Amino acid sequence: MNVRTPFDQLPQALVEELEVAGLDARAVYAAVVSAVEEDLPGGAEDVTSAATIPADARGAADFAAREVGVVAGLGVAALVFAHVLGEDASVSDRVADGTRVEAGDVVMRVSGKTRGLLTAERTALNFASHLSGVATATSHWVAALEGTRARVLDTRKTLPNLRMLEKYAVRCGGGVNHRFSLCDMAMVKDNHVIAAGGVVPAFLAVRASQPDLPVEVEVTDLDQLRELLDVGCERILLDNMTDDQMAEAVGIREGHATPATLEASGGLTLERARGVAETGVDFISVGALTHSVLVLDLGMDLSPHTPLIQQGARSAHASAGTPKDLR
């Protein structure tokens, strides 16, 4: 079996779903094509499946969770099957990304030529398991911050070429996206401060160069915070501060005319999350959501159908950008 479906022959509902979710469908397709190429370089075939499975054999398989978590990337997994099997691929009973699942829950069913199902299996699982891991980790932070004003942010510490999908998975878990690139927001960090001669010169230089762009400046002490508030900086990152320092920073901000938002960052752990949130900061940025996340254990088995979970019965804190289940 050597089907490779071009983008314009993908199911239109699936393409539209990705776009509604805030994803570039063509970029997702390109990532899938590249991943499939790793397994089948130059259009090769899956030699094991070709040797052990008749060419006309057909089958159905369940995608199921093997542990508790929040799923994300099932639409990407569906795209993998569409790319590998073409019109022969049938995906059904797919739960919405952002749904909380229990061990044993079936999250998607696929059917088609058995060779194609097994050829696509690992690539589909790689995407869905990794993205579900990101969503699950994010949901733990969201739960820890519940009842406070703080929201959890991701960072640019993403796997190369997977940033768009990983940030989508953060949204599925209830988190908030920070900047996507070096040009959609200015982020003045310690090395910029050193090069510019201080936090204020650095901030003013960026503001003069990019008057309409959001600007965030990193500070390491409260004097720098006061200086930035005095010149109107409206987004400030508190780097590697103690909870007491962050609480004092919030107090300084509350007593100042500049309505700045404060972001906590630097080696934060889930165990510290609640205490940091209770200082009154607005955001907590966590690189570990993407750079150190464990996959969610999902598996695919050729097996009889098992009872489905109730759609929407266990909804995670998915954002408005999370797609609906399109069958």
Kindly name the residue from 39, 93, 227, 239 that is annotated as catalytic: 239
Report the alpha-carbon distance of residue 3 to residue 36 in Å, rounded.
Answer: 11
At 104, is the secondary structure helix, strand, or coil?
coil
Task: Give 63's strand partners.
Answer: 108, 300
Kindly name the residue from 218, 253, 263, 282 that is annotated as catalytic: 218
Kindly name the residue from 37, 39, 93, 157 that is annotated as catalytic: 157
Catalytic-residue membership of 239: yes
User: Which one-letter amino acid corresponds to residue 7?
Assistant: F
Catalytic-residue membership of 314: no
Report the alpha-carbon distance of residue 288 to residue 275 in Å, rounded.
Answer: 18
Residue 289 phi, psi dihedral angles, 5° rounding: -55, -30
Which two three-digit tokens encode residue 145?
């911050």
At 231, is the secondary structure helix, strand, or coil?
coil
Bridge pairing between strands 235-239 and 215-219? parallel
Contacts of 288 (CB under 8 A, 6+ apart): 137
Kindly name the residue from 66, 122, 226, 272 that is annotated as catalytic: 122
Which two three-digit tokens encode residue 286?
């966590």
Q: Are 114 and 72 in contact (CB under 8 A)?
A: no
Contacts of 53 (CB under 8 A, 6+ apart): 114, 115, 118
For the beta carbon of residue 115, count every other beta carbon within 10 angstroms.
Answer: 25
Catalytic-residue membership of 157: yes
Report the alpha-carbon distance of residue 126 to residue 136 in Å, rounded.
Answer: 15
Angle between helices 25-39 and 163-172 (to 10 degrees): 110
Residue 322, burial from CB neighbour count under 10 angstroms (0-12, 13-18, 19+): buried
Kindly name the residue from 4, 58, 189, 324 that is annotated as catalytic: 189
Task: Give 218's strand partners.
Answer: 237
Q: Are 17 and 75 in contact (CB under 8 A)?
A: yes
Q: Which positions are catalytic?
A: 122, 157, 189, 218, 239
